[in-house]
A and B are shown apart, each in its own frame.
Chain A
Amino acid sequence: MSTSLNAAGVRQARVSPWQRLGGALNMQWLVIGACLLAVAYLALMPLGFLIWQSFFTPDTAGEASRFTLGNYARAYGSTETLHLLGNSLVFAFGTAVFAFGVGGMLAWMNERTNTPFKKLFFALSIIPLIIPGIMFTISWILLGSPKIGLINMLLQSWFSTDHVFVNVYSLWGMIWVEGLHYSPMAFLMMTAAFRSMDPSLEESALMSGASIGQIFWRVTLKLTWPAIFASVLILFVRAIEAFEVPALLGIPVGTQVLTSAIYQAVHQYPSQVGLASSYGTTLLLITTAGIYLQSRLTGKGSKYATVTGKGFRPRVVDLGSWRYVTAAVFILYFALIVLLPFLVLLWSSLQSYYAVPTMEAARNMSLNAYRFLWDHPTIANSVWNSLVLAFGSATIVMLMTSVVCWIVIKTKLPGRWLLDNVASLPLVFPGLVLGLAVMVFYLNFNIGVYGTLWIMLIVYVTRFMPYGMRYNSTSMLQIHKELEESAQMSGASWGTMFYRILLPLLKPGLLAGWIYVFIVSIRELSASILLYSPGNEVIAIVIWELWENGQFVELSALGVVFILALLLLVVLAQYVGRRFGVKEI
């Protein structure tokens, strides 16, 4: 193992004293070892729990748990499951393709073209992600329902007809809402990939007389193929695991997906965790297949490496007058996708209950909901806890997975795709099963984390590690091995090489992944709800409580505050970046 991993290190030994080699080796193995152990520990524990549980009956005071194959028989013995799985697959595939289309296009326009005002668009592009899932879906019900949807009402009064123009309660509606909600995920990943592109390749294509469409299709897309695959894969798996949109838009019209069955299994007494787990194994297999395919793709050496030792100046494609078209696309996107739901939230936050906008309702506007939030006893503490957790989990996830990705992509370690797979599987553990696994483990292995914020940090890092893997591996693939080799030839230790060469070059992926993990950590609910404790509330719990209490108006106000805070943060970050001359790669 060590020879293949450290061929460069051994070569270096001939020119350096033995002690120095020892030091470098220690440093390298310490970091790599620690990351490997952490990943294995975090991912294998719940995986073991899930597989173990799937072979057992529920354990109750009246009846002890015993070995059974019944969970699998019950889960896969009926055509019902196939039907649910079929719905899930169609929904997930549609969502992945749609979200990628939207996010990828925005990313290309933002990174590779000279579209006007694009700096502004970065912040706006990730807004859908920050809106809590329930709120985002409900805004779309209020916009696209056949009965009270504003879009339908508006079009119906324009054309004086009662024809239903859009219906959000359908498979297409579900794909639309889920796809839009997660398009920022593809946007962030593709932004990172496009940022590390070598523009000289596009330029040579241009010099050889290719049109912009041809360049995009034959150069840009081809070079970012691993990023595309990774985005679609992770969007697909995430959509299969989605619960809110299918519950709010599918169930009313009798369309159910696999997660409905998982939900129902867990939410009864005795809780059928085993049954839920055996449903979950299908999702594990699908993910494994995806990761394997990805590893085949990325195993083809440095074909996709665009960041090389040669001069590297990112330059954008001049769209000519087409840039006004792309600007128009941006504006249309924001009007439709960001502004419309935002206005719905804003409107409802100013009411005392949701009413279709009329002049009469406009007279009843008040700021009570905002006052309520201001006076709320736990919100300030929850926001702080969420920020600390989000910052912690995003930072740990991105740094840890950067090392793991290095092993997966830059070494020839046999079975390294399995490592990738292990680190990616937590993506599909049903949130509640993951929460339960962690809970059971730390209750029995008492190291004092239960009942504190630490246990939630552990869950968040586990849950979002897979995203870190995909973001980092996409950027890692683009970095040519020659940079690493020349660092080592110049006598840099592995640590120096990693810290001074790789991490800075990984920055686009690291940053994009960090933003993503940060935001989704703030929103995480299903595992948090089992693991938080009095005094350790997070903001997702407050959102859930408001929702359970039927305080829809207050929830809308919170959504509005979220969006404004995010906008402010991004604008501030960009300002600070310009002010202190942080150069973007």
Chain B
Amino acid sequence: MKSVLKRVVVGTLVVLCTQGALAQAREGVSELALYQGPDRQARLVEVAKGESGITVYHTYPALTNVMTAFTKKYGIKTRAWRAGSEAILQRVITEARGNRFEVDIVQNNAPENEAAHRERLLQVVRSPLRSDLIPQATPAHGEWVGVTLDVWTAAYNTNRVTEAELPKSYEDLQDPKWKGRLGIEANNHGWFGTLLQELGEERGREIFKNIVAVNGISARKGHSLLTTMVASGEVPLALTVYNWNPEQLKAKGAPIKGLALKPVIAQPSTVAMLKKAPNPASALLFYDFIISEEGQRILQEFSYVTTHKKLAHPLRDDALRYIDPGKAIDMQNAWLTTFDEMIVKKAK
């Protein structure tokens, strides 16, 4: 009983103390984040010395490598918490409402971080390095920055689909030779909504209605599963995997290849700093590091399409189309319904 009481008292004290310290630090956060003077870097390094490492919430496995390189460069420790995109958003929002501020940096899909922006949780950061990135990676509000592009491509099993019969466009998939051979990820409504927009709503719907009626599309939960199923031959041609999915398996010798069907669609994966980050200087150093050429190269090594202008990638051409993160939130229900009605419920 005593220890519980003690815990409650200590807990309350800790909360009170951290709240006080936070109020003091808050001005420091935005001042640091917006500072653009020539000694920005030196100042951040100096302030960071008094901080206690950073906490990062992330969805990408490869972010671990960026964090390792960051620690090696600055000697700043990182604590990582990894989960799915929705769980991260959920946790950031719920923790903020519960007045708990432990996280410094959040890496997540653009729509999720756009949602965090709408929840007024993110800090505007004026990093000088932002100008090195493509425009789609730097929204006007400046509260998140795109570090990579998740590009959806098709992938096929090279033992089950020959080069000669590969489709050139979505129209080609209406050919009955694809009967029972197509797969798709079951949650790609954002991709589908944007694709229909690009193809022309009416024409797009017509094409997919035909594909589903003639050949059927099997829906799979999760891009990893879908890619594994392509490599094993279960799904000869998958329409929506992330571009690095087949690359990973191909490197291990699996009979799988990526295939870009136009219009190719991408969504930035983003990094943001929290308004109430407990370690703002270290967080900003990380922020700068991941969009610097050095940090971006690490991501490129893992087959990611980066957002750095200097690091070209064949998929990042002028024809590449981007999901608008704000629109993805506003249209969410409409896109979900369309995708469910047209594809998932008719899956076979």
> How many residues of B are counted as interface, with CB atoms below 8 angstroms from the partner's CB atoms?
67
Decide yes or no whether B321 CB sits under 8 A from chain A.
no
CB contacts (< 8 Å) of A138 on chain B: these are 225, 228
The answer on a CB contact under 8 Å between A352 and B252 is: yes
Determine how close the nearest CB of chain A comes to the CB of B3; give it in whole angstroms. Answer: 11
The answer on a CB contact under 8 Å between A248 and B225 is: yes
Determine how close the nearest CB of chain B comes to the CB of A199; give it in whole angstroms. Answer: 47
Cβ contacts A130-150/B at 8 Å (1 or 0 each) = 000000001001100101100
Given contacts A61-B118, A147-B234, contact A268 B94 (CB under 8 A): no
The answer on a CB contact under 8 Å between B219 and A252 is: yes
The answer on a CB contact under 8 Å between B61 and A251 is: no
The answer on a CB contact under 8 Å between A353 and B87 is: no
Decide yes or no whether A450 CB sits under 8 A from chain B.
yes
The answer on a CB contact under 8 Å between A443 and B347 is: no
Which residues of B182-223 are within 8 A (CB) of A?
183, 186-187, 218-223
Which residues of A233-288 are within 8 A (CB) of B?
247-248, 251-254, 256, 264, 266-271
CB contacts (< 8 Å) of B225 on chain A: these are 138, 248
CB contacts (< 8 Å) of A364 on chain B: these are 253
The answer on a CB contact under 8 Å between A443 and B228 is: no
Binds A, one of B9-17, B30-38, B265-273: B9-17
With both beta carbons as reference points, the residue of chain A lying nearest to B64 in the complex is identified as A377
> How many residues of A are counted as interface, with CB atoms below 8 angstroms from the partner's CB atoms?
52
With both beta carbons as reference points, the residue of chain A lying nearest to B244 in the complex is identified as A550
Decide yes or no whether A60 CB sits under 8 A from chain B.
yes
Decide yes or no whether A101 CB sits under 8 A from chain B.
no
Determine how close the nearest CB of chain B comes to the CB of A30; give it in whole angstroms. Answer: 12
Which of B81, B218, B232, B348 is close to A142, meaning CB atoms less than 8 Å apart? B232
Cβ contacts B105-141/A at 8 Å (1 or 0 each) = 0000001100100111000000000000000000000
CA distance A60 to B254 in the complex (A): 45
Given contacts A147-B233, A352-B252, A552-B228, contact A443 B221 (CB under 8 A): no
Determine how close the nearest CB of chain A comes to the CB of B13; give it in whole angstroms. Answer: 11
Given contacts A145-B234, A254-B346, A447-B11, contact A271 B224 (CB under 8 A): no
Given contacts A268-B332, A440-B94, contact A62 B61 (CB under 8 A): no
With both beta carbons as reference points, the residue of chain B lying nearest to A266 in the complex is identified as B86
Decide yes or no whether A406 CB sits under 8 A from chain B.
no
Which of B61, B90, B112, B187 is close to A549, meaning CB atoms less than 8 Å apart? B61
CB contacts (< 8 Å) of A60 on chain B: these are 118-119
CB contacts (< 8 Å) of B288 on chain A: these are none
Determine how close the nearest CB of chain B comes to the CB of A111; give it in whole angstroms. Answer: 39
Binds B, one of A41-49, A222-230, A463-471, A529-537: A529-537
Cβ contacts A473-495/B at 8 Å (1 or 0 each) = 00000000000000000000000
With both beta carbons as reference points, the residue of chain A lying nearest to B85 in the complex is identified as A267
CA distance A547 to B221 in the complex (A): 12
CB contacts (< 8 Å) of A439 on chain B: these are 91, 94, 98
CB contacts (< 8 Å) of A148 on chain B: these are 232-234
The answer on a CB contact under 8 Å between A535 and B84 is: no
The answer on a CB contact under 8 Å between B344 and A533 is: no
Decide yes or no whether A444 CB sits under 8 A from chain B.
yes
Decide yes or no whether A548 CB sits under 8 A from chain B.
yes
The answer on a CB contact under 8 Å between A254 and B91 is: no
CA distance A95 to B234 in the complex (A): 26
12 pairs of residues in contact across A and B, judged by CB atoms under 8 Å: A62-B118, A142-B232, A248-B220, A264-B336, A436-B94, A439-B98, A440-B94, A530-B91, A548-B61, A548-B222, A550-B223, A550-B249
Extra contacts besides A352-B252, A439-B91 (9): CB < 8 Å? A248-B225, A253-B218, A356-B233, A440-B94, A443-B94, A443-B97, A529-B83, A534-B79, A548-B224
Interface residues of B (CB under 8 A from A): 4, 7-8, 10-12, 14-15, 55, 61, 79-84, 86-87, 89-91, 94-95, 97-100, 102, 111-112, 115, 118-120, 183, 186-187, 218-225, 227-229, 231-234, 245, 248-249, 252-254, 329, 332-333, 336, 344-348
